[in-house]
Amino acid sequence: ETGVTQSPTHLIKTRGQQVTLRCSSQSGHNTVSWYQQALGQGPQFIFQYYREEENGRGNFPPRFSGLQFPNYSSELNVNALELDDSALYLCASSSGTSGSSYNEQFFGPGTRLTVL
């Protein structure tokens, strides 16, 4: 069984650019969530995709957008990058219906984004 994988591992961009981060969910999982983790803080929920549709969003502006594909892999897109977007971006997958309190989330190792 393959775990959650993310690419790239590290990325350096400049302010104003756009970035796409990728996530492959664990086999059998149909739900993907994205989190942003600033240095020294806990992860902050960005949004979640369930069966290719966004079904929950945290307090992030619309320039943070995403996609989920039929194989349940996912992308996180960030437009008009700002310095404060520098962070570790984590993807987590889970199975079953979103909203359940039972579903363990399996996290990937993250993508470290640096915005200069």
Which is nearest to 76 in space by CA: 18, 14, 3? 18
Among 60, 75, 86, 107, which residue sits at the site for other proteins (rule: CB under 8 A)?
107
Q: How far is CA 27 from CA 7, 86, 89, 93, in A?
A: 17, 29, 21, 9
**Nearer Cβ to other proteins (21/92):** 92
User: What pairing do the DSSP bridges indicate for beta strands 106-107 and 5-7?
Assistant: unpaired
| 62/70 Cα distance (integer angstroms) | 23
80-99 residues in contact with other proteins (CB under 8 A) are: 90, 92, 98-99
**Nearer Cβ to other proteins (54/82):** 54
**Nearer Cβ to other proteins (71/101):** 101
53: its two tokens: 């549709």
29-58 residues in contact with other proteins (CB under 8 A) are: 33, 35, 40-45, 48, 50, 55-58
1 lines the binding site for other proteins (CB under 8 A) = no
75 strand-pairing partners: 22, 67
User: Which residues of the chain form contacts with other proteins (CB under 8 A)?
Assistant: 4, 33, 35, 40-45, 48, 50, 55-58, 90, 92, 98-99, 101-102, 104-110
